[in-house]
A and B are shown apart, each in its own frame.
Chain A
């Protein structure tokens, strides 16, 4: 049988077209949104010429700057704390001799992934009010750390499970103390898992809307909250511009994590 005929038998008609349609469906709205962020006019329907003026408006806006700084601060802090906690949890749950208890820990660690976001959101609000922590920056941070833990935990756990278990043993045979073996052998091997866990947690924190919206209280705001507020006043070119900036940031982060993943695989 010729290769061409074999290829032909493996393709089902229409599948290619549907896949292209799928990609167009996923990207067309994003492309249009981006395109109109460069529109000169106030209108979001009529193209009147190319300009950066809406980006200038966005960058000049004090509230957007504050919201962006808040978002970044929360995402960096939550991702870092979650990664450190998840590293400990991953070391404790992987590599155990006795399998007992591991399942329970796994269920708790991935529990935030199973609860619908809106339920987490209102439950966190009710909890913070009940124990008397005033809503604001701190409550946002606490809520973010919780849902970031599983996202940081899973890549670190996967990396640890894929690791050659004999390496720390070899270090121990060469009289390295357990602490030294951990810092010199295990930790460097874990770096790709730690980085991708941190990045995932960071993106998830930056992405969150509903949980943040409910636990933010009147004072604190993040970028998604601010954009949502802007949208309440209607679709404006500023919304397009700030959205495009966030799109660019997420895409850059995904590219970065992809590159890190590839670099990790080469070693």
Chain B
């Protein structure tokens, strides 16, 4: 017997009822999320109005502005790497954060999976709490310990290891650390859930067949973690590349990433088309990474 589809009332046709249930949420997302992104796309091809907003004349200036600077005097275009550097820095920082999170999380997820049930729950809880704690507060907490006269520097000075405080905050290093700190749980949890049901007898079998520890780890453990590896990389890379708080608070507003550059165009700089063009670039990078990983995951599933 096949189960009946859920119906709310016998008087309303099920198709109509389903549409009535589904469409309010779809409409809200389409109206307040998809349509705004459509508007942004349009704005990225318009001309900036002097005090924010746009003028309705078509222009590709917002996109050329990323690579070229228009000379005031002779109106010629000159290549400027400034914005390209910011975009490259965002990709680089996000990649570093993803790789380092992976290097920390793979052993951690493995270690958690080998604990007793009780210890496992405690560990998972420890990793989950930061996942839900306010990101602004966590970023402030990291700045608090990294400051020139913060606990890390004080401890190092008290131990006599250094005489001058190390420049731990307001630079690229602090941003990297901030991204890892912010998104590390996003990597540990998917890796763990991919590995959770691992049959440890497979490892025993590998050792019985004279596999070395290294071979056993890379040929048995890592392939099992792979779906989590893909999901985790996505969950770290995407919020990292568009991150606003880490560069803003830990980078001290000097070392910008694309998120801050976008924010500024809608606040102080007031160049909406340029900000819209940057948003489109960030969105495109994000969607390419998403699609690429989704296709890899799908191929992986087909192979299994």
A residues bordering B, Cβ < 8 Å?
Answer: 1, 6, 9-12, 14-16, 18-19, 21-23, 25-30, 32-33, 36, 44-45, 85-86, 88-89, 91-97, 105, 108-109, 111-112, 114-127, 129-130, 142-143, 145-146, 149, 153, 165-166, 168-169, 172, 177-179, 182, 186, 203, 206-207, 209-210, 214, 224, 227-228, 231, 235, 239-240, 243, 246-247, 250-251, 253-254, 258
How far, in whole Å, are A247 and B129 apart by their CA atoms in the complex?
A: 10
B residues bordering A, Cβ < 8 Å?
Answer: 1, 3-10, 18-22, 24-26, 28-30, 32-37, 39-40, 43, 53, 104-105, 107-108, 110-112, 114, 123, 125-130, 132-138, 140-145, 147, 149-151, 154, 181, 184-185, 188, 200, 203-204, 207, 213, 217, 238-239, 241-242, 244-245, 249, 258-259, 262-263, 265-267, 272, 275-276, 279, 282-283, 286-287, 290
Q: Given known contacts A26-B181, A32-B150, what 8 new A-B pairs fall within 8 Å (CB)?
A: A12-B213, A29-B144, A44-B144, A111-B33, A112-B29, A122-B263, A207-B134, A254-B132
The A/B interface has a contact count, at CB < 8 Å, of 272
Q: A18 to B142, Cβ gap below 8 A?
A: no
Q: A109 to B203, Cβ gap below 8 A?
A: no
Asked if A12 meets B107 with Cβ closer than 8 Å, knowing A30-B141, A117-B242, the reply is: yes
Q: B130 to A178, Cβ gap below 8 A?
A: no
Minimal Cβ-Cβ distance residue in A for B137: A243
Q: B125 to A258, Cβ gap below 8 A?
A: yes
Q: A9 to B40, Cβ gap below 8 A?
A: no
Task: Name the contact of A235 in the complex, choosing from B127, B129, B144, B279 (C-beta under 8 A).
Answer: B144
The interface residues of chain A, by DSSP majority, are classed as: helix
Asked if A119 meets B283 with Cβ closer than 8 Å, knowing A105-B26, A224-B136, the reply is: yes
Give min CB distance, B48 to chain A, whole Å.
13
